[in-house]
């Protein structure tokens, strides 16, 4: 009910539902004390990762092969640069002002806040009027940023856990992306075969979501990136026709709309549930003014680092200059950062959950507010009416708009023919069928 209410308020007010859900969580947690911290922390990581897998699967379904072209490598470059500069900018702030000059905790916190949240960015990008190809870059780069940050944080967790194995650490770091790519693609090909035969049966939508979550869990268990596998799984299903031609698979797959609708609603539920949990975990203590100030400063720094990363790629000619504004705005933090911040708490590496959670919540609110305003200005600028232009030469695919004089001429011609009474036929007149066919005048431009 809270998620539905947040969605309605977001549509009417223009605010992202992230802000509304976090505020509702603050009301249910620190204000009304509905639940306890321990109960929330035990389920938060699983809910968050499941929501990420579903949202990236949905984004992958919309990525078409012809739309990607050479964009994946450009998206890789943007994702890597954005994560790197954000990590380097946040580390000194966390080291000196948050974790008492603890290098491990500063690294973990900086890694958690280094990535764009695909769970927040992808739905916003889907509702925006973006240039051709920009939405694909946003979807792919945000998924890669999530993957890079998860690899970084999980590697640090293994490194700082007692009794870690060096060889296992190296292999788990190197193999996460290849295993995620391979697992998602093979699972997609398998599910194309299954869906072609069984998707008309009842509950196949639920089976697809179950298979997706099973895939993400198995890939994570063998050392790969589960959320990257979820993205590739969606891309494979979304490009089933191309794969059928490439691999000579019999038949054709048209994924039923019910499958998409069901997984979207489940992702909506899990995402809203986790954001409510994050708001509930916030604690209003005696030092909350310092927390608010530190979180606001970190949010401003991350906004600047996102703009720097996008501006660098634009200056190098990787993306058009018109993409600078939307790509800079669509870099907000959210679900992924919150999940990664919770992981060190569940591992017992952070003495107090609020030491990580409270600044993260402030950063999410600051960056989300910036994204909301930036998207609003961008939408108004792209839809502003331009100067009225006179009709030009005919271009392929359409006709020029007639001038006022042409409209009046055509209307006079039509009205004269409609208002003039037809003459009565006289004896000896020929019937219309006997009239010779005379070519008419050429059509009006």
User: Which residues neighbour 334 within 8 Å (Cβ) at sequence distance 6 or greater?
Assistant: 18, 117, 119, 120, 121, 275, 364, 368
Is residue 335 within 8 Å of residue 275, measured between CB atoms? Answer: yes
End-to-end C-alpha distance for the chain, whole angstroms: 57
**Fold (topology level) of 2-6+17-282+318-382:** Na+/H+ antiporter like fold (1.20.1530)
Q: What is the pLDDT of residues 257-306, one digit of tens each?
A: 777 788 888 888 888 887 888 788 777 777 778 888 999 999 999 999 99
| The pLDDT of residue 407 | 46
- CB neighbourhood size of 345 (10 A): 21
Is residue 125 within 8 Å of residue 379, measured between CB atoms? Answer: no
Q: What is the pLDDT of residues 181-231, one digit of tens each?
A: 999 999 998 998 888 888 888 888 899 999 999 999 999 888 888 888 998
Is residue 15 within 8 Å of residue 371, measured between CB atoms? Answer: no
Using the structure block, give the residue that is written with the tokens 């193999």.
175
Q: Which of 128-137, 165-174, 190-199, 407-416 has the highest mean pLDDT?
A: 190-199
Q: Distance (Å, rounded) from C-alpha 56 to C-alpha 45?
A: 17
Using the structure block, give the residue that is written with the tokens 């600078």.
324
Report which of residues 88 and 279 the model is more confident about.
88
Using the structure block, give the residue that is written with the tokens 């979820």.
230
* 39 pLDDT above the threshold of 80: no
Domains in the chain: boundaries: 2-6+17-282+318-382
* 381 pLDDT above the threshold of 90: no
Q: Distance (Å, rounded) from C-alpha 293 to C-alpha 135?
A: 33
pLDDT band at 127 (very low <50, low <70, confident <90, very high): confident
Is residue 383 within 8 Å of residue 129, measured between CB atoms? Answer: yes
Q: Distance (Å, rounded) from C-alpha 85 to C-alpha 83?
A: 6
Q: In terms of Cα–Cα distance, which of 432, 302, 318, 298 is closest to 371?
A: 302
User: Which residues neighbour 439 within 8 Å (Cβ) at sequence distance 6 or greater?
Assistant: none
Least confident of 72-76, 152-156, 214-218, 439-443: 439-443
How large is the average pLDDT for residues 127-141?
Answer: 83
Apex 363 CA angle, 362 and 368, nearest 5:
100
């Amino acid at each position: 009910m809270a998620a539905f209410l947040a969605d309605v308020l977001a549509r009417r007010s223009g605010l992202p539902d992230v802000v509304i859900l976090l505020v509702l969580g603050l009301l249910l947690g620190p204000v009304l004390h509905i639940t306890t911290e321990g109960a929330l922390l035990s389920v938060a990581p699983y809910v968050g990762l499941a929501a990420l897998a579903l949202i990236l699967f949905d984004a992958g379904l919309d990525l078409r092969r012809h739309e990607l072209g050479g964009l994946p490598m450009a998206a890789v470059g943007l994702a890597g640069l954005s994560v790197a500069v954000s990590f380097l900018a946040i580390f000194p702030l966390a080291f000196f002002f948050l974790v008492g000059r603890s290098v491990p905790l500063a690294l973990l916190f900086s890694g958690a806040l280094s990535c764009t949240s695909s769970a927040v960015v992808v739905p916003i990008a889907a509702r925006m009027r973006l240039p051709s190809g920009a939405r694909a870059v946003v979807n792919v780069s945000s998924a890669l940023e999530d993957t890079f940050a998860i690899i970084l944080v999980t590697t640090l967790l293994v490194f700082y856990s007692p009794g870690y194995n060096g060889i296992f650490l190296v292999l788990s770091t190197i193999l996460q992306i290849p295993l995620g790519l391979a697992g998602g693609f093979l699972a997609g090909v398998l599910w194309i075969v299954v869906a072609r035969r069984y998707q008309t049966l009842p509950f196949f939508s639920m089976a697809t979501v179950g298979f997706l979550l099973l895939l993400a869990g198995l890939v994570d268990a063998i050392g790969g990136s589960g959320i990257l596998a979820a993205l590739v799984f969606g891309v494979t299903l979304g490009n089933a026709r191309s794969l059928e031609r490439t691999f000579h698979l019999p038949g054709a797959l048209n994924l039923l709309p019910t499958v998409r609708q069901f997984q979207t609603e489940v992702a909506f539920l899990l995402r809203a549930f986790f954001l409510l949990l994050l708001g509930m975990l916030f604690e209003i203590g005696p030092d909350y003014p310092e927390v608010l100030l530190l979180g606001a400063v970190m949010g401003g720094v991350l906004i600047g680092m996102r703009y720097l990363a996008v501006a660098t790629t634009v200056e190098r000619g990787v993306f058009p200059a018109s993409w600078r504004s939307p790509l800079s705005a669509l870099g907000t933090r959210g679900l992924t950062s919150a999940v990664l911040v919770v992981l060190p708490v569940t591992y017992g590496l952070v003495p107090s959950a609020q030491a990580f959670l409270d600044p993260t919540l402030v950063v999410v609110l600051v960056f989300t507010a910036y994204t909301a305003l930036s998207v609003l200005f961008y939408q108004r600028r792209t839809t502003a009416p331009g100067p009225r232009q006179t009709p030009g030469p005919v271009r392929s695919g359409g006709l020029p708009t007639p001038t006022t004089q042409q409209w009046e001429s055509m209307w006079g011609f039509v009205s004269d023919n409609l208002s003039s009474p037809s003459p009565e036929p006289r004896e000896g007149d020929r019937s219309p069928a006997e009239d010779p066919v005379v070519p008419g005048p050429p059509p009006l431009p």
